[in-house]
A and B are shown apart, each in its own frame.
Chain A
């Protein structure tokens, strides 16, 4: 193969490389806009105890004592699989998944309840606040 043909083959391969690289960078940059979209879907809420907040990063958050729970509470009053939080249309719902001590929202025992901002969720002996996410330093 002569030099000119070789250069053409190399250029076409390089163009493919470049395009693949650009698409990869574009999809990486989409990561930040994906977070913004999730903020919109999840209404940017978090579960908080006294001094810490736990962002809700998935459409299904398991709360319990089990090691694989999303929010793990080391407390014997909390069941291993206690409650689950779901989001749909920007609204979060808490569902009791067969816990022994039950789920309380603002002191009322519930099986399933749509959450509003600043609701206090009682799980076993623990209380968590469902609130807007706050930026911390």
Chain B
């Protein structure tokens, strides 16, 4: 951040927001021992201070995303520690630390696009390895790998940032056409399409259909940027075909959905089935209504008795205890975080494409969680990024936030030349004389002769 005062100013306001929330917990919270509030407050404020101290060592150009990240992560920690009674959640705190570390990793890996574009084959290989892990190590048609009694990881979550990178790193390679039979094929277009197809199949195999819209949104954002990319042949036809194909695919997917999806998710009347398949959503809606604008107070809710109150219906849990205003604000902070690239636009196609993919993933995930809790769309069981409890989701969200940070503080370094790669030599002037279109040599200092006006259009794609 160029101005140290604005850095300190932002730090103070983040501390103020967390301080106000903690004071609310202290004065309104449901706790037996005040020490539980003191522990929570010291951890939250301590984490803030440590993060604010460490951040300047990374010498970023801007810290806006980092401030929003720490704001929302500690908000999540306070929310999670208050559900059903104030008690510091150590497990969630560890996942918050893991998210912050993965954010730094994401930043360091993704800031130099020329470096990562050279390594795109490894990204494809990583996706393949993850698919192999899902096939070999998850249980029978499950999405989880159990690492103990209370610990398990969801490998399919890690495919989200890899898919974003696969789409972003191949966007500038659309000129390289390869002849295959009688077709001109661009491998960089075929491979992301193959990857998304394979991911959708795997998600179906793992019965994790709720994540398919998130993966779809990442691919669609990458696809739209790809066909709008100057070197691609832009026309309305591909967009119309893409939208029509999506609509047809959605209809086919609904028609061919397995019976358990149709009966328990898509066409469920929650009030008629309020003790069976519609139980979670009924309770979630009651809790939102019960909380009102300002909530019942931290720890005073009843939703903690319902399954997945910390993850799938976390929006309702927050609404009940903290109020709808606070729940909407937490979603708003997340939206602001993904909207920062609009304020400070990235300067390369790679970073722009990466930001679009991440924004699409977070927005869709958030919409599925919030609208699913409110019974406006079928309930999918997707987590709310940075707030829901869940190690894999938190680490992946942190990694994607790091990619946003990288897009805000990019590095434009020259690619390293390989040993056997020769420098491009200029063509000799003797050869040039044979070319009829060649303009006459002009000295750098020479006045340019008057030319007819050129009709230029500078299209700024970043807007």
Contact = CB atoms under 8 A, between A and B. Distances in A.
A57 B322 CA distance: 45
B251 interface: no
A34 B62 contact: yes
B391 to A, nearest CB: 26
Given A15-B20, A70-B459, A87-B412, A108 B427 contact: yes
B444 A23 contact: no
Contacts of A38: 347
Q: How large is the interface on B (under 10, 10 to 19, 20 to 34, 35 or more residues)?
A: 35 or more
Contacts of B426: 105, 108-111, 113
Interface string B446-463: 101011011111111110
B412 A59 contact: yes
Given A16-B21, A109-B432, A69 B230 contact: yes
A22 B27 CA distance: 26
A56 B44 CA distance: 44
Contact of B17 (A16, A55, A100): A16
A1 B320 CA distance: 13
Contacts of B347: 38, 41, 57-59
Contacts of A59: 347-348, 412
Interface in A62-117: 62, 64, 66-75, 77, 81, 87-89, 91, 97-98, 100-102, 104-113
B329 A120 contact: no
A13 B326 contact: yes
A34 B450 CA distance: 36
B343 A31 contact: yes
Contacts, number: 247
B440 interface: yes
Interface stretch (B86-94, B236-244, B332-340): B332-340
A13 B321 CA distance: 12
Contacts of B172: 60
Contact of B455 (A4, A10, A50, A74): A74
A108 B326 contact: no
Nearest to A20: B333
Q: Helix, strand, loop or mixed for chain B's interface?
A: loop
B343 A20 contact: no
B459 A12 contact: no
Contacts of A14: 20
B14 interface: yes
B442 A54 contact: no
A22 B442 contact: no
Contacts of B455: 72, 74
A103 B230 CA distance: 19
Contacts of A36: 2
Interface string A14-49: 111111101110111111011011100100000001
A118 B444 contact: yes
Interface stretch (B5-13, B102-110, B193-201, B212-220): B5-13
B422 to A, nearest CB: 12
A23 B10 contact: yes
A34 to B, nearest CB: 5
Given A30-B344, A106-B442, A17 B329 contact: yes
A135 interface: no
Contacts of A24: 336, 343
User: 5 nearest interchain CB pairs?
Assistant: A107-B441, A15-B20, A27-B64, A19-B17, A9-B294
14 contacts: A1-B296, A20-B329, A23-B67, A23-B71, A30-B64, A54-B458, A57-B460, A67-B234, A67-B457, A72-B455, A73-B454, A89-B412, A106-B443, A107-B432
